[in-house]
């Protein structure tokens, strides 16, 4: 198959990569782009471990073709921390032990960040519904939901 | 291994040309939330993918001069939710579209894809049927319009002709006292496929229903327009007798399958129950607006 040349923006940086026409965005991120923070859990859009944003909209990178990134803007977990300074959600997940094995964590963080950008004061129910597309088999979700609620409260106070 | 070509034309004419030329090897890509899963599982090996999202008409939401809406076939559920007016005029259509998958899926999945997949259980379809949506399709022989309920032909099949592409949904203007609602029954609280789905659109004037449409999903090979249920509601004040008659009409329309999500008896019963609940929500919305 002839490789396709794609020009895009990832985490604010202009990027180019080569991919097969049927590669998913997740394949491109974890392959040629070497951004392995996004995880492949199910490869069918059920688990959310590959969550990224496309033009600031939350999506599963396993359900997007890499060639579709042309002229669009992608953000991944790698763009969340500012250098050594963790994003408040990342910091809070650590403090409140909102992760165990870590496979779901980058997707949880990307999805939670997308929620708080849209709704800085979500109810617990809104957090739970928003994160319904992110599966975690370790934590039972409670610590994750509490960490998101607490981060939202702290970010509002700042 | 088949060579896959990805095309992202900027005009509908180019898309129709490429799609028709590639024949049965071609697939349309809107949100891709079903297509990519089918490709990954090996169920489907398309030779050509025609991405329609670079065509402005496919991703536009427009309020028409008469107060109706035109929604491009590839508009994502999230984009529809973010529109400032759409959810106020068509809350039932919006809640149906927004029940498809997770927030991640919402970021991509479209009502156009939901309709063209031909699933009897697609959530947006009964609500679109209740809304009286008209779809515009374009193919090698030009453009035509179809009633949304005429699009599904059976599980996984549509009445679009070879080479035709779904372009948009047109929803009619709303008289005062109108609203809609969609409810589905699923065995869990989120992220599941409907066992029964009911869309209801009502116009209520001085407490009496003057117009009604009922769409019913997941209980037959295609989503159904249940005209007998609408007839039972029109002219009534939504009294118990009218509701019972409309519910019975929904149950009578059911030709469901038995599967792990629900038995024939269960789906048939629930269709009537959900009709009553959906009517109550639509009526409350229709009357509180005035």
Whether B6 and A21 lie within 8 Å, measured CB to CB = yes
Whether B76 and A57 lie within 8 Å, measured CB to CB = yes
Of A151, A33, A50, A45, the C-alpha closest to A108 is A50
Q: Where are the alpha helices (H) located in A67-123, listed in sequence order? A: 88-95, 105-118
* Chain A residues in contact with B3 (beta carbon < 8 A): 1-2
* Chain A residues in contact with B5 (beta carbon < 8 A): 21
- DSSP bridge pairs for B6: B49
* Chain B residues in contact with A23 (beta carbon < 8 A): none
Sequential DSSP letters for B113-177: HHHHTT-TT-SHHHHHHHHT-EEEEEETTEEEEEEGGGSEEETTEESPPTT-EEEEEEEPP--TT
d(CA B106, nearest CA chain A) in Å? 8
- DSSP bridge pairs for A58: A53
Residue from B104, B108, B109, B186 whose CB has the most chain A CBs within 10 Å, to mutate? B104
Of B78, B101, B190, the CB nearest to A129: B190
Mean pLDDT score, B198-222: 97
**pLDDT (tens digit, 0 to 9) for every residue of chain A, 158 residues total?**
689 999 999 999 999 999 999 999 999 999 999 999 999 999 999 999 999 999 999 999 999 999 999 999 999 999 999 999 999 999 999 999 999 999 999 999 999 999 999 999 999 999 999 999 999 999 999 999 999 999 999 999 98
pTM to 2 decimal places: 0.95
Whether A1 and B76 lie within 8 Å, measured CB to CB = no
Query: pLDDT above 70 covers what percent of chain B?
Result: 99
* Chain A residues in contact with B49 (beta carbon < 8 A): 21, 65
Searching chain A, which residue's CA lies closest to the CA of residue B30?
A64
Searching chain A, which residue's CA lies closest to the CA of residue B6?
A21
pLDDT in tens, B128-187: 999 999 999 999 999 999 999 999 999 999 999 999 999 999 999 999 999 999 999 988
Chain A positions contacting chain B at CB under 8 Å are 1-2, 4, 20-22, 24, 43-46, 48, 51, 54, 57-60, 62-65, 67-68, 70, 111, 114-115, 129-130, 132-134
* Chain A residues in contact with B31 (beta carbon < 8 A): 63
pLDDT in tens, B22-80: 999 999 999 999 999 999 999 999 999 999 999 999 999 999 999 999 999 999 999 99
Whether B32 and A4 lie within 8 Å, measured CB to CB = no
Cα gap B95→B128, rounded to integer Å: 11
Q: Is B3 on the interface with A (CB under 8 A)?
A: yes
- Range 193-232 of B in CB contact (< 8 A) with A: none
d(CA A134, nearest CA chain B) in Å? 8
Q: Encode burial over A12-38: b for 16+ CB neighbours within 10 A, e otherwise.
A: eeebebebbbbbbbbbbbbbbbebebb
* Chain A residues in contact with B101 (beta carbon < 8 A): 45, 133
Whether A1 and B1 lie within 8 Å, measured CB to CB = yes
Structure tokens at A118: 């849209």
Question: Long-range contacts for A85-92 (Cβ within 8 Å, ≥24 apart)?
Answer: A87/A113, A88/A151, A88/A154, A88/A155, A89/A113, A89/A116, A89/A147, A89/A148, A89/A151, A92/A147, A92/A148, A92/A150, A92/A151, A92/A154
Cα gap A11→A33, rounded to integer Å: 12
CA dihedral B32, B35, B41, B47 (to 10 degrees): -120
Q: Encode burial over B238-277: b for 16+ CB neighbours within 10 A, e otherwise.
A: beeebbebbbbbbbebbebeeeebbeeeebbbbbbbbbbe
Whether A133 and B101 lie within 8 Å, measured CB to CB = yes
Cα gap B113→B73, rounded to integer Å: 7
When the pLDDT of each residue in chain B is averaged and rounded to a whole number, the result is: 95
ipTM over 0.90: yes
């Amino acid at each position: 198959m002839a490789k396709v040349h794609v020009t895009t923006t990832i985490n604010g940086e202009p990027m180019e990569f080569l991919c097969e026409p049927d590669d998913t965005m997740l394949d491109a991120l974890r392959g040629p782009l070497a951004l392995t923070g996004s995880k492949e859990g199910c490869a069918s859009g059920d688990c959310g471990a590959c969550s990224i944003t496309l033009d600031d909209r939350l999506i599963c990178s396993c359900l997007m073709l890499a060639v579709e990134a042309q002229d669009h803007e992608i953000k991944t977990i790698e763009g969340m921390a500012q250098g050594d300074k963790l994003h408040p959600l990342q910091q809070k997940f650590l403090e409140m032990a909102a992760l165990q094995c870590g496979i779901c964590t980058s997707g949880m963080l990307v999805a939670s960040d997308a929620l708080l950008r849209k709704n800085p004061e979500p109810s617990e129910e809104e957090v739970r519904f928003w994160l319904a597309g992110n599966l975690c088999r370790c934590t039972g979700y409670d610590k994750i939901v509490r960490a998101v609620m607490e981060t939202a409260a702290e970010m509002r106070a700042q | 291994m088949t060579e896959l070509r990805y095309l992202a034309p900027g005009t509908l004419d180019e898309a129709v040309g490429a799609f028709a030329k590639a024949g049965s090897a071609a697939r349309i890509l809107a949100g891709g939330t079903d297509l990519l899963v089918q490709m990954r599982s090996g169920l489907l090996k398309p030779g050509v993918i025609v991405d329609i999202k670079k065509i402005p008409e496919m991703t536009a939401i427009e309020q028409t001069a008469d107060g109706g809406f035109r929604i491009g076939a590839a508009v994502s559920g999230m984009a529809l939710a973010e529109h400032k007016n759409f959810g106020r005029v068509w809350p039932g259509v919006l809640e149906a579209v927004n029940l498809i998958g997770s927030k991640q899926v919402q970021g991509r999945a479209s009502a156009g894809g939901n309709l063209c997949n031909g699933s009897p259980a697609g959530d947006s379809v009964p609500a679109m049927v209740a809304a009286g949506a008209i779809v515009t399709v374009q193919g090698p022989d030009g453009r035509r319009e179809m009633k949304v309920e005429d699009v599904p032909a059976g599980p996984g099949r549509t009445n679009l002709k070879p080479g035709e592409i779904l372009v948009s949904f047109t929803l009619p203007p709303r008289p005062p006292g109108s609203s809609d609602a969609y409810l589905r029954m699923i065995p869990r609280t989120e992220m599941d496929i409907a066992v029964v789905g009911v869309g209801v659109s009502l116009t209520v004037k001085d407490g009496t229903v003057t117009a009604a449409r009922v769409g019913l999903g997941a209980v037959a090979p295609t989503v159904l327009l249940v005209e007998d249920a609408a007839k039972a509601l029109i002219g009534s004040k939504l009294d118990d007798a009218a509701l019972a008659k409309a519910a019975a009409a929904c149950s009578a329309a059911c030709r469901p399958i038995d599967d792990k999500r629900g038995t024939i008896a269960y789906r048939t019963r629930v269709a009537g129950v959900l009709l009553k609940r959906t009517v109550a929500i639509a009526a409350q919305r229709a009357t509180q607006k005035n």
